[in-house]
Chain A
Amino acid sequence: MQDAVLENTERKLEVVAFRVAGQDFCFDLASVREIRGWTSTTALPHAQPFVKGVINLRGSVVPVIDLSQRLGFGMADPGARHVIIIAVIANQTVGLLAEVVSDILTVSEADLQPIPEIVDETVRKFISGVLIQEDKMIRRLELGMILDQEGQYAA
């Protein structure tokens, strides 16, 4: 019985939930360093379309990825209300552009459901599961896929 309790607590998961292109997403809070308001970026030549550019994060050069474009929703038009979630992916610091951060949730891993088989490949590539919270469905992002295996910004 004790085991069951332990197991239960171990499987708790903290995630940051945010919105991209009108849909709800989340990923592990542990990867998040900070959340900033939108600042305009410096464009990078020869970059993938989803790379918005770079920003100055207290003296470091940090690229910003347009999650909307990356996930196939088309280019975001960032405004004052957009946020940049600073995350660490594969030892690189990356900014992720989102519309709004909605919540920080503590969920049980048991609440995570696999995504249905029918959805297309882009979705499968970036989304590792879904989370049902009250009336909302939150998609769990597979952060590692934002950059490819070599930590590069390939298409």
Chain B
Amino acid sequence: MSDKEDFRSSFFEECEELLEQTQDGLDALAEDATDTEAVNSVFRAVHSIKGGAGAFGLEALVDFSHKFETAMDAIRSGEVELSDDMLELFRMCGDNLSDLVSNARAGDNSPITSAAQLEDRLFEITGDVEEEDDPEFNPVTLDLGMDLNDVPQEDEGRLVYTIHFHPRADLFAAGNEPAALFKALTRLGDVQVKANLDDVPELSALDAMLCQISWLIEVTTDGNTDEIKEVFEFVEDCCDLTIEPPGTSECAAGGLPGLDEVAISDVDEAMAPDMPNLGDLVPEVGGSVGAVATGKSNVNAADDVAHKPGDASQKALPDAGAAAVARKPAKTDKSSSTIRVDLGRIDKLINLVGELVIKEAMLSQSVDELDIARGSGVSAALDSVKQIASEIQEGVMAIRAQPVKPMFQRMARIVREASAATGKKVRFVTIGDYTEVDKTVIERLVDPLTHMIRNAIDHGLESPEERKAAGKSVEGTITLSAAHRSGRVLIDVVDDGGGINREVVRKLAIERGLIQDSDQLSPTEIDHLLFMPGFSSKTEVSELSGRGVGLDVVRSAIQKLGGRVAIQSDPGEGATFSISLPLTLAVLEGMVVRVGSETMVVPISSVQETVRPMAQDLDRLGVDAVVLRNRGELVPVVDLGAFFGFRTAPQTLDDHVLLLIASDQGPRYALVVDEIQDQRQVVIKSLETNYQQISGVAAATILGDGRIALIIDADTVMRDLGSGGPGSSGLSEKSMRMAG
């Protein structure tokens, strides 16, 4: 039972990869409609989904993927030419396929009724294609990863060799496997394998130790007999083998007399458990072979190109092949050297490593207290333990890191749907698909990004008429990009629409009581009003993005991830929403500071610089407020101890340190702390599990002495100070929370 569950879940995991492969293929086709490798790749992916779905009895999925596959096959065989409309249809089919997969995963195995129209349109494509070309589909539960491609044909410079191969019992006894040999042959060229079942007796008379199947193999290759012999080198002595060079075999060009085309999958299990799917090796005799089970997730485009260097059709398109390789540099390795691991195991490991880091810190602190001489064996050993611990930590974190690509592909779908709903033409561009981010971060980014992209299409892009009038291309562009920068991940959503209409935003904010008429706001401050709770820039609630949630929800979701979001807008040119996120949710690089009698941690990413204040740089404004003159700017000074209520603000800042905090939600400010003690990686511990959120505090951590220190959230400190502008409501928000 559990085995079946295992297979089932690995089928769905494989489906994710196959759906990704489908998307990739369709993307490649959008760039170049004649990319035959892309067509093949989509075909193979859909076919593999169908195969797996059949094995699990997921009929709705089989049914739809069969139709999809048939249409792809028509393109593949050249019977139908790929048009833009068709590509659009295929994309929708891809979306539908992905819906069917997730439904099936959730246990719902019914067809999606709204997809009936898609099926009709698919049928229009395949209507003229004869059904006979598509042999009855028999689900095959296992698959050898063989890529038995097209019919053997004598290409120029390539010859067809005929091999008769009949293994004797000692071949299996020696641990050899015919399927592996056949697979090895595929490296030489196209291989056609036929099994001869004439000698197979009734089941009751079957001797499981003997192999009563012989094979007739046709290899179309530009290699010679020796190369073929080499494949069989290790089994020469335990099989009957003849290799006939071209021209000597009467079967080579024509039919294959004497062969029985009975599917033998019923017999094979009784024969030899090691060769369970001979059925795979028996293609339909005389069929035009388009649909011989070939699709296999780990044989990807790049592999194919490498395996068939002499294939004429590949030669015709060397550029396409090369481009496919160049685009997916990591892909080839990926399939052969990845394992699937339960996320829970990784998380357990991460927690343990977190403990290790804490214990290591505690140990070094105890050693320090013992006052052992520097350079002694103990401290040297401790230093290397420290280094190893941090390397393990990095390594474990890297396991959780995943490329953002699948998420970006989901966004492509959001774009298509939003574009259909608004009637705006949208081109979707992604950059940095292979940027790696913590899996949890990726998962939690889906909702905010969906919202931002819908928002960009709905509110950002102008209508086609407006774009025309503005002299822009009718098609709007949404660019989604990801990149690593100084220990953080930057994700930008860029539209080339009209930009933020600051007049309207300002007016609306006044109407909604978010700002006063008299408030003087900088353009950036106006832009950031979009993130205020209760702000929605469309007067009527639009079907698409106006669901009563505004960008404030996006911002709080990003902040929960320890991230920040900012807007940059040029009127008429478009707007950029930038998200900046930590690489991981488990550790951060922190500055350990003392505030009064408390030890706290400030994330390094927030600290722009540290300043020892000179009296001449500080000015008092009014009774309490102090400003620092720094790089020609007046920077408000905030006492962290007073902010948290640990102490009253010190009269003089002479023996204090200022941390200049860079915030993207407002001006810079300086935090007063008593002393900087250390800079180190700290493990992030949730406060909310057993307590509640605290204004100005992001999380907690455990220091070397085993005590807890709070990690400061520099952005909310800024917001809660109520420095005017967008932040002013932060204070009331906070006081409300405190009152509740």
- Chain A residues near B (Cβ < 8 Å): 40, 42-47, 54-56, 59-63, 92-94, 152-154
Contacts and interface: CB of A to CB of B under 8 A. Distances in A.
A46 B694 contact: yes
A59 B738 contact: no
B708 interface: yes
Interface residues of B, number: 30
B708 A56 contact: yes
Contacts of A154: 740
Given A45-B643, A61-B700, 5 more contacts: A42-B599, A46-B695, A54-B687, A60-B685, A61-B708
Most chain B CB within a 10 A radius of its CB, from A44, A60, A62, A92: A44
B708 A45 contact: no
Given A42-B707, A55-B708, A60 B691 contact: no
Contacts of B358: 59
Nearest to B706: A56
Contact of A59 (B690, B697, B702, B707): B702
A59 B354 contact: yes
B690 A42 contact: no
A56 B690 CA distance: 12
Contacts of A47: 694
Contact of A42 (B351, B598, B643): B598
Residue from the set B355, B686, B707, B738 with the largest chain A CB neighbour count within 10 Å: B707
A63 B689 contact: no
Contacts of A63: 690-691
B709 interface: yes
Contacts of B690: 60-63, 92-94
Contacts of B708: 42, 54-56, 61
B709 to A, nearest CB: 7
Interface string B673-709: 0000000000001110111101111001010001111
A16 B706 CA distance: 28
A12 B200 CA distance: 76
6 contacts: A42-B599, A43-B598, A54-B708, A63-B690, A93-B690, A152-B692
Most B-side CB within 10 Å, residue of A59, A94, A154: A59
B137 interface: no
B42 interface: no
Given A42-B708, A56-B708, A152-B692, A61 B687 contact: yes
B686 A45 contact: no
A66 to B, nearest CB: 15
Interface string B636-648: 0000000111100
Interface in B587-642: 598-599
B645 A45 contact: yes
Interface in B355-414: 355, 358
Given A54-B708, A59-B685, A61-B708, A44 B695 contact: no
A33 B102 CA distance: 41
